[in-house]
Amino acid sequence: MPPSHRQRLPYRAFNLRREEVAPVLIAALFFFCVLTALMLLRPARDALGMERGIESIRWLFIGTALATLAVNPVFGWLVARLRRLQFIGATYGFFVLSLVGFWALLVFAPGAVGQRSGQVFYVWFSVFNLFVTMVFWALLADRFTSDQGKRFFALISVGGTLGAIFGPWLTSRLAVPLGTPSLLLVAGGFLLAALAMASLLVRVVPDRNATVGATASPVNTTVGNERIGGSAWAGLAAVFRSRYLTAIAGYVVLMTVLATFIYFTRLQMVAAVADDMDARAAILGNIDMWTQVAVLVLQVTLTGKLIQRFGLGVALAILPVATALGFVGLAIYGSFVVLVLLEATNRAVQRGITRPAREALFTVVSREEKYKAKAFVDTFMYRAGDVVGAQAEGGLGRLGLALGGLASVVVPLALAWAALALWLGHAQARRAAAARGTPSLLSVPPAHASRMPGRSPTRDGP
């Protein structure tokens, strides 16, 4: 084998070009820091939320949805007024300061920490979880092209999965010697490291056409530092003005409704087998850990090849099919083991296959839509699906529907969800084909950027 061919083998194995390796590694490390911070805190969030019973969590979902709706115009205002790294820094900095505030409360006023504080932390963490991951993926959709998103978003996701495995492991090692309050500061440190990676990514990856799907102006190397402008509520308006963005929002709502069905089924079964908070946290942590292992296997071996071979539509449709089959199996067997397998499979497919594919959908919209509309979809619409799912599951339970009845509701919803996934894949392909004249951001020197063609205003359809 010629030496040059051997040198190209690692790039071919991961479907990368040589100049893409550094950006992919930086983005993966960025995601590693974000997910480590989140997973340090997640088991405690779920255990605290269960302290006042499962019914209280349904109301916490409503509180979280309202909180995300209230935060969206604030985030939209930041996006409109600040430069990219400034509003990313403001977002991450706010959450770091919040973690310091919770730490101070736990250390200096432990008597004030009770069930109400646990509920506040539950809502805060749920908002925090969505916004820090949304900002990460929005930046990636902004910096990378549609083709690059399909090729290596799954590979970048491996960094997040490693962080999701490392976070619970770190919790188990540090909780006793440092104490639970100190974990909040550790999580804040990882968020600051993530912000440093965001800054490095912006500097390493040249900017591309800032107005994909919008009226274009000649591109230059300073575009990435310009303010996006627009109104604070532009994201909400864009979602309901564009069929493409509305369909993405619908996909997210259906995904979260059915994931919430699984979530509450899990809480009920965990409550039945464990009585105290520590035992519940241990069970939830073990489910998280093994789920992340399954996600890692999917991301390394399957996701990128699947998206390249069959397209985004099929990749997005796998989760609805897996969810429907899982509920049918749960209705037939009804055991805790089957539930763990259902949740692990659902979350593994969602994070290992669906999430990279879903994020690639945003590579073909305008920069304003990448941040503002995406924020609305990934936060409020996501939590709205949680609320609908929580209330619907509770209502079905009050009607006396067992797992078999729940499956009869899930299967039709999953079929509609799969059909929407296939439509989105077709729509994204058409938008990407229309923009294919735009050269890759990593292969075009800045000197030639002014000759990159523009795009027509965003269309309603695919």
Which of 41-45, 69-73, 248-252, 259-263 reaches the highest mean pLDDT? 248-252
At residue 200, what is the residue type? L
Share of the chain above pLDDT 70, in %: 71
pLDDT classification of 116: cutoffs 50, 70, 90:
low
* Cα–Cα dist 158/152, whole Å: 10
Which of 25-34, 128-137, 218-227, 327-336 reaches the highest mean pLDDT? 25-34
Q: Which pLDDT does position 458 carry in this prediction?
A: 40
CA of 77: how far to CAs of 66, 86, 225, 287, 353, in Å? 18, 12, 17, 38, 32
Between residues 153 and 246, which one has the greater pLDDT?
246
CA of 269: how far to CAs of 264, 265, 272, in Å? 9, 6, 5
* Cα–Cα dist 93/270, whole Å: 35
Q: Which pLDDT does position 24 carry in this prediction?
A: 93
DSSP letter at 223 equals: G
pLDDT classification of 444: cutoffs 50, 70, 90:
very low
Q: Which pLDDT does position 344 carry in this prediction?
A: 74
Burial of 422: CB neighbours in 10 Å, binned 0-12, 13-18, 19+: middle
pLDDT classification of 415: cutoffs 50, 70, 90:
very high
Is it the case that residue 73 has pLDDT exceeding 50?
yes
Mean pLDDT computed over 2-9: 48
* Ranges 2-6, 145-149, 156-160: which has the least confidence: 2-6
Report residue 213 as tokens: 């799907």
CA of 312: how far to CAs of 16, 181, 352, 433, in Å? 19, 42, 13, 14
Mean pLDDT computed over 217-244: 68
CATH superfamily, with its number, for domain 16-209+232-438 = MFS general substrate transporter like domains (1.20.1250.20)
Q: Give the three-state DSSP class for 365.
A: coil
* Cα–Cα dist 319/252, whole Å: 12
CA of 91: how far to CAs of 87, 135, 184, 235, in Å? 6, 8, 17, 17
Question: pLDDT digit string (tens) for 238-260?
Answer: 998 999 999 999 999 999 998 88
Is it the case that residue 127 has pLDDT exceeding 60?
yes
Between residues 31 and 213, which one has the greater pLDDT?
31
Q: Could you tell me which of 330, 303, 328 has the C-alpha nearest to residue 316? A: 303
Question: pLDDT digit string (tens) for 77-101?
Answer: 888 888 888 889 999 999 999 989 8
Question: pLDDT digit string (tens) for 369-404?
Answer: 988 999 999 988 998 888 888 888 777 766 655 555
Question: Residues of 86-114 as b/e, b for ≥16 C-beta within 10 angstroms?
Answer: ebbbebbebbbebbeebbebbeeeeeebe
* Ranges 135-139, 327-331, 360-364: which has the least confidence: 327-331
Between residues 301 and 131, which one has the greater pLDDT?
131
* Cα–Cα dist 377/236, whole Å: 8
Asked if 162 and 296 touch (Cβ cutoff 8 Å), the reply is yes
Q: Which pLDDT does position 447 carry in this prediction?
A: 37
Q: Which pLDDT does position 236 carry in this prediction?
A: 84
Q: Which pLDDT does position 445 carry in this prediction?
A: 39
pLDDT classification of 12: cutoffs 50, 70, 90:
low
Asked if 224 and 84 touch (Cβ cutoff 8 Å), the reply is yes
Q: Give the three-state DSSP class for 17.
A: coil
Is it the case that residue 233 has pLDDT exceeding 70?
yes
Is it the case that residue 356 has pLDDT exceeding 80?
yes
* Cα–Cα dist 287/291, whole Å: 6
Roughly what angle, to the nearest 10 degrees, separates helices 277-298 and 243-273?
A: 140
Output the CA angle 291-297-300, nearest 5 degrees.
135
Asked if 160 and 166 touch (Cβ cutoff 8 Å), the reply is no
Question: pLDDT digit string (tens) for 294-347?
Answer: 777 777 776 667 777 888 999 999 999 988 888 888 778 766 677 777 777 787
Q: Which pLDDT does position 249 carry in this prediction?
A: 95
Cα–chain center distance at 36: 14
What torsion do the CA atoms of 160, 164, 166, 170 make, to the nearest 10 degrees?
A: 140
pLDDT classification of 50: cutoffs 50, 70, 90:
low
Q: Which pLDDT does position 282 carry in this prediction?
A: 61
Q: Which pLDDT does position 223 carry in this prediction?
A: 41
Q: Which pLDDT does position 220 carry in this prediction?
A: 35
Q: Give the mean pLDDT of the chain.
A: 77
* Cα–Cα dist 171/365, whole Å: 38
Domain ranges for the chain: 16-209+232-438
